[in-house]
Structure 1
């Protein structure tokens, strides 16, 4: 069973399709300029099929609260 996650910065909803180790290895091998923004890293991971991004309007704040909070 796959578990859904939310990116800490931006709160984007995604599901990993591979292990965390494989994702980390992929990100470590990206050129530095592609690692400058979380958006670009997520796009690269999605384009490579390592994660599935959802355009479902569900986001989390920096504390992980789905839907955000008044503090953030």
Structure 2
């Protein structure tokens, strides 16, 4: 990885919070070269990227909905009662 491209991101599907450590091109090439069975699930791809050091998954309990809203949209269960 030639440069530091660290950026906070959220996976569009699943809302997983992660820090991007590689360029989008490096990430795309890495994913393209994964065996097909390791690309079947977004969570498998995220795990592979995390293991390769291209992203760092943040286990902070912060998630986003598909629209980019943190903690979900109005009417969605947010874990509080």
Please indicate the TM-score interval, normalised by the length of the shorter structure: over 0.9
Aligned to 1:2: 6
The runs of at least 4 aligned residues of structure 1 exceeding 4 Å deviation read none
1:34 counterpart residue number: 38
Question: 1:15 — aligned with what?
Answer: 19
Q: Any idea what SS the aligned residue of 2:18 has?
A: strand
TM-score, length basis structure 1? 0.93
For 1:40-55, list aligned pairs within 5 A.
40-55=44-59
Query: 1:38 & 1:2 partners in 2: Cα distance?
Result: 20
1:25-71 deviation per Cα after TM superposition (whole angstroms, max 9, x unaligned): 00000011100000000000000000010000000001111111136
Q: Would you tell me which structure has more helix in proportion to its own residues?
A: 1
Report the count of equivalent residues: 72
Larger radius of gyration: 2
- Measured on the aligned residues, the alpha-carbon RMSD in Å equals 1.4
- Give the unaligned 5+ runs of structure 1: none
Secondary structure in 2 matching 1:4: strand
Matched, 1:24 2:32: no
Larger RCO (alpha carbons 8 Å, 6+ apart):
1
